[in-house]
Amino acid sequence: MHLRDMEPLQSPNRVSVIQSRIREYILRNGLRPGDKLPTEAELSNALHVGRTAIRETFRSLEALGIVEARQGFGRVVRDFNFDAILNNLIYGLAFHGDSIYLIHEIRKALESYFTERSVRNLTEADVEELSSLVERMKQRTTAGIVFVEEDHEFHRLLFSRCGNKLALQLFEIAWSVREHYFGRDQWYAEVPLQIVAGEHAGILQAIKERDADKARQLILAHHQSMEQWFLGRGKK
């Protein structure tokens, strides 16, 4: 698709229409992340709209994570990520607490499905890292200190070995949404730390035994503990 093939706009102030034309240009030309987009002046001429409208549209596309500006180079197609989706979820779910539980269910389903693959792909160095994380959980439990980072890293490492980048990103979304809605430490303040640390220790032992089915069952049991909190104190 060439710029001259872009149909001029009849409503020059409709940013959403300009967005659609730019998206169409990206798709029809098979542009990839990092590929340069036409300049404001080129798009202004092609669409018969002012550069101000083009500039406003580019800003909206940048906010959506579709386009990014590179100093001294211009605007390019951005590699896809969930930043824009995550930011909107955090804001939107602040008014819909019941949706937090639904997101948790999705995370549970993903973790259950990918456990076998993750266990199979874990290296000895990964197992050592998981062991170190569980040991730190136990130490912090003894000291009465929450272990948010260790818990996050434990599950993040498992997702990172499942061979599915999207699953890892969805996990990060679920984790971030929970933290922003309930507060970073609230879950750990209301559930005995020794129980949570013990659940992770059991999962680790199954992983060391390379028993993926046992690890999956223990992960599901771990999620059941969280679900009970969501349906009780967490949803009040």
236 confidence band (pLDDT: 50, 70, 90): very low
pLDDT of residue 129: 98
pLDDT of residue 13: 52
pTM of the model: 0.69
Instruction: Give the mean pLDDT of 98-105.
Output: 78
pLDDT at 97 over 90: no
**29-43, 97-111, 113-127, 146-160: the lowest-pLDDT one:** 97-111
pLDDT at 96 over 70: no
Please give the domain boundaries of the chain with CATH numbers for all domains.
Answer: 3-77 (1.10.10.10), 83-235 (1.20.120.530)
Reported as a single tens digit per residue, the pLDDT across 178-211 is: 777 766 666 666 678 898 999 999 999 999 999 9
Between residues 167 and 97, which one has the greater pLDDT?
Answer: 167
86 confidence band (pLDDT: 50, 70, 90): low
43 confidence band (pLDDT: 50, 70, 90): very high
pLDDT of residue 183: 67
pLDDT at 91 over 90: no
Between residues 36 and 83, which one has the greater pLDDT?
Answer: 36
**28-42, 84-98, 202-216, 220-234: the lowest-pLDDT one:** 84-98
Q: Which of 124, 125, 149, 122 is nearest to 137 (CA)?
A: 149
Please give the sequence-ordered ranges of beta strands (E in DSSP) within the chain, or none if there are none. 67-70, 74-77
Q: Which of 120, 119, 154 is nearest to 135 (CA)?
A: 154
* Distant-in-sequence, close-in-space partners of 143: CB < 8 Å, separation ≥ 6: none
Contact 9, 47 (CB under 8 A): yes
Contact 183, 176 (CB under 8 A): no
**114-118, 172-176, 196-200, 228-232: the lowest-pLDDT one:** 228-232
10 confidence band (pLDDT: 50, 70, 90): low
Query: Quick one: what percent of the chain has pLDDT higher than 70?
Result: 79
Cα dihedral 206, 160, 120, 136, rounded to 10, equals -30
